[in-house]
Structure 1
Amino acid sequence: MARGRDLAARAVWGVCVALALVVAVAAFTYALEANDDNGLVKLVRDLADAFDLGFFDLDNPVKEFTGDNAVTKNALFNYGLAAVVYLVIGRVLERIIRP
């Protein structure tokens, strides 16, 4: 039983880390001004848009910046916050599940 719970805790943590990584990489594509026409950049941004929990969406952000580099600031702040939330949720769930 304990081995199964340990494995489940590791799986939950791994999924949350992977989701946080996707969102963070998407933020960096904005910061690095990556080519919007690149298929990999589109894929990462689409995945981040799907996994942004609805609260950290760039179309309706938690905090919206204006002025110079507003898109980059919005992406870094909101996607960065989403990545931190995923890591916190993952760690809490992992601690609850682990024996």
Structure 2
Amino acid sequence: MQRKKKDRQVGRKVVAGTNAIRARIASVVWLVAVVCALFLAVGALLVALKMNQDNAIVAFVLDGAAKLDFGSFKDFTGKGAATKEALTNWGIAAVIYLVVGKVLDRIIRP
């Protein structure tokens, strides 16, 4: 009788530990998705505001956004095409990161 009670306590501790690890992993996945979306959104904003791309911080954000981009969803021509492309393509990519990150968070979290 004493052994079964001890086994149950150990089993509960294992489940609690596993749930804590899964919750941490889910939080990290969501954080990564939010940071990626933030890079894309801020990069699009910097392009829209025509910030100085020679600035180190602006260049860093734009390079990061370009690496996180999924490619071109829509091509624009004419006046303001670069701004429209950045807002559209990086905005869609940011939304995709947030949706996929939240879905993964819900799947992983206990």
TM surpasses 0.5: yes
5 Å-filtered alignment, 1:1-20, equals 1-20=18-37
Specify which structure has the bigger relative contact order, considering alpha-carbon pairs within 8 angstroms and separated by 6 or more residues: 1
More helix by share: 2
Larger radius of gyration: 2
TM-score normalised per structure 1: 0.90
Structure 2 CA distance for aligned equivalents of residues 69 and 50 of structure 1: 22
Query: Following TM superposition, by how much is the alpha carbon of 1:66 offset from its aligned partner in structure 2, in angstroms?
Result: 1.1
Which residue does the alignment assign to 1:30?
47
Aligned-pair identity in percent equals 51
Query: Counterpart in 2 of 1:97?
Result: 108
Aligned structure 1 segments of 4 or more residues deviating by more than 3 angstroms: none
CA RMSD, aligned part only? 0.8
Q: Distance in 1 between matches of 2:27 and 2:49?
A: 32
Distance 2:76 2:25 in 1: 39
The count of corresponding residues between Structure 1 and Structure 2 is 93
Match status 1:41 vs 2:52: no
Distance 1:18 1:71 in 2: 23
Looking at structure 1, the residues matched to 55 and 20 of structure 2 have their Cα atoms a distance apart, in angstroms, of 43
1:17-76 residue CA offsets vs partner (Å, 9 max, x unmatched): 000000111000111100011111110011111111xx33xxxx1101111111000000
Alignment correspondent of 2:84: 73
**Separation of aligned partners in 1, 2:68 and 2:78:** 27
Counterpart-to-counterpart distance in 2, 1:80 and 1:62: 10
Structure 1: any 5+ residue segments left out of the alignment? none
Paired residue secondary structure (1:68)? coil
Q: Give the TM-score of the pair, scaled to structure 2.
A: 0.82
Q: Separation in 2 of the partners of 1:4 and 1:36?
A: 41
